[in-house]
Amino acid sequence: MRRVLLYLVQLALIVTAAVWLADRPGEVRIDWLGWRVETSAAVLALLMVALAWALAVLRGLWRWMRRAPGAFVEARRERRREAGYEALGRGLAAVAAGDAVEARRLARKASGLLDEPPLTRLLSAQAAQLGGDEAEAERQFQAMRADPATEFLGLRGLLAKALRDGDRASAVALAERALELKPNAPWLLKQTFALQAEAGRWRAAMATLADAAGRGAVVKEAARRARTALLTALAEESADPGEAKHLLVEAAELAPGFAPAATQLARLHAAAGAERKAIKGLERAWNAAPHPDVARAWLQLRAEAPPLDRLRWLQRLTRSQGDHREARLALAEAALDAQLWGAARHQLQDLVAQPTPRVVRLMARVEREERADVEGARAWLERIQSTGPDPAWVCGACGAQSTGWAARCGNCGAFDSLDWKSPPRVQRIDRPPPLLMPAAADPVPQIPPAPAATA
């Protein structure tokens, strides 16, 4: 509205000026360099307006000519950028579709057109990986790692490669650096913990585990179990009994029924003359989960006592869980040592229905020692072939069995994979006896690789 008003005012002024000039047709005469111009004042005014307009047009033309090359270059750059991004997008789509040849072609095109190494390197690396060119992929990931903007993506690519190659030493270093950059990534927390634990770096693993649990990347129960294993492993390697005790007390608190921690702690207490603490700890472990090692550690506290006293000592432990299979086996053995055949038979009578090698050996001992019945003893021992196995520490990762606990499986190296349980029954027909440690085709545990790096 204001512009229209302004326009009308301007028009009125021009018309007024024109009328005013037309009403006063005075004459103008110019003498200049031998030329003479004679005209009316109105024509002169018109000429001056025309001249001003021509000058304005020339000035605009000049400015446009000065800017043109820059605009041309900018337009060309914009077209290249657009083509580059298009190649990048189609390249990523080709990677997703698994078309290695197309992906590599588009990766080269995109890096030629775009001046954005972080984006094009990732595509180049993925295209190279897809095409099986591991060396080129690694070169790209190394270049990404050197650039602060893409260091994490580079580390992630290199970590996945190290895991595929089974290069645990490199993998743990890469994972730790990546975790410094992104301390919140749940998959990275879990991966780093697994690598540190497998490498036996207990303290570093413990710190990572605490971090992972604090950020909710690990379930509480799993974190508690893993921490128990770490504490016990650390205590086993510790040369300082005070520190070892401190670690084991926490482990026993976390998992009262975990025999390896309870028995180790009891030994340390006993060695330091703190028998009451040893007794309390073993009773607590036995009540939570009767385990032959706990019974053994308990009897060790009366190693020098006569057999009958040892039996009575054991009866004190088995006041609770007295019907448990492990209680019966331990009591039967102690009764045999004390030559109380009837008591031994009594403890074993419920177990022979489902015999295991331990039950069978004790029954053979009863036959041999009570009645000197060699034939009866042999008959029992022959049954070993057909019995189910005794409980053992069984690796959940590779199935290997061992009699003692270790933080890492002795066969496959997996961390905290051993559970105390009855191993699956093995068929023994026309085959060599199964090895205690089965020979695995792939001795390296497979940790699932990190999710494929995507932009």
Site residues (vs Zn ion, CB under 5 A) = 395, 397-398, 400, 409, 411-412, 414
CB of 218 to Zn ion, least distance (A): 21
CB of 398 to Zn ion, least distance (A): 3
CB of 408 to Zn ion, least distance (A): 8
Residue 255's alpha-carbon distances to 224, 231, 274, 281, in angstroms, are 8, 11, 21, 12
Is the distance from CB of 410 to CB of 439 less than 8 angstroms?
A: no
Residue 198 or 333 with smaller CB distance to Zn ion: 198
Residue 152 or 405 with smaller CB distance to Zn ion: 405
CB of 395 to Zn ion, least distance (A): 3
Residue 198 or 283 with smaller CB distance to Zn ion: 198
CB of 206 to Zn ion, least distance (A): 22
Residue 128 or 400 with smaller CB distance to Zn ion: 400
CB of 449 to Zn ion, least distance (A): 20
Residue 268 or 414 with smaller CB distance to Zn ion: 414
Residue 123 or 395 with smaller CB distance to Zn ion: 395
Task: Identify the residue whose tokens are 């051993």.
Answer: 418
CB of 444 to Zn ion, least distance (A): 11
CB of 417 to Zn ion, least distance (A): 5
Residue 193 or 393 with smaller CB distance to Zn ion: 393
For the CA atoms of 109, 114, 120, 123, the dihedral, rounded to the nearest 10 degrees, stands at -40
CB of 193 to Zn ion, least distance (A): 18
CB of 168 to Zn ion, least distance (A): 15
For the CA atoms of 118, 119, 122, 126, the dihedral, rounded to the nearest 10 degrees, stands at -170
CB of 214 to Zn ion, least distance (A): 29
Task: Identify the residue whose tokens are 């026993």.
Answer: 252
Residue 84 or 413 with smaller CB distance to Zn ion: 413
Residue 94 or 412 with smaller CB distance to Zn ion: 412
Residue 179 or 394 with smaller CB distance to Zn ion: 394
161-167-141 Cα angle (round to 5): 30
Q: What's the per-residue H, E or C state across the chain? A: CHHHHHHHHHHHHHHHHHHHHHHCCCEEEEEECCEEEEEEHHHHHHHHHHHHHHHHHHHHHHHHHHHHHHHHHHHHHHHHHHHHHHHHHHHHHHHHHCCHHHHHHHHHHHHHHCCCHHHHHHHHHHHHHHCCCHHHHHHHHHHHHHCCCCHHHHHHHHHHHHHHHCCHHHHHHHHHHHHHHCCCCHHHHHHHHHHHHHCCCHHHHHHHHHHHHHCCCCCHHHHHHHHHHHHHHHHHHCCCHHHHHHHHHHHHHHCCCCHHHHHHHHHHHHHCCCHHHHHHHHHHHHHHCCCHHHHHHHHHCCCCCCHHHHHHHHHHHCCCCCCCHHHHHHHHHHHHHCCCHHHHHHHHCCCCCCCCHHHHHHHHHHHHHHHCCHHHHHHHHHHHHHCCCCCEEEECCCCCEECCCCCECCCCCCECCEEEECCCCCCCCCCCCCCCCCCCCCCCCCCCCCCCCCC
Residue 286 or 393 with smaller CB distance to Zn ion: 393
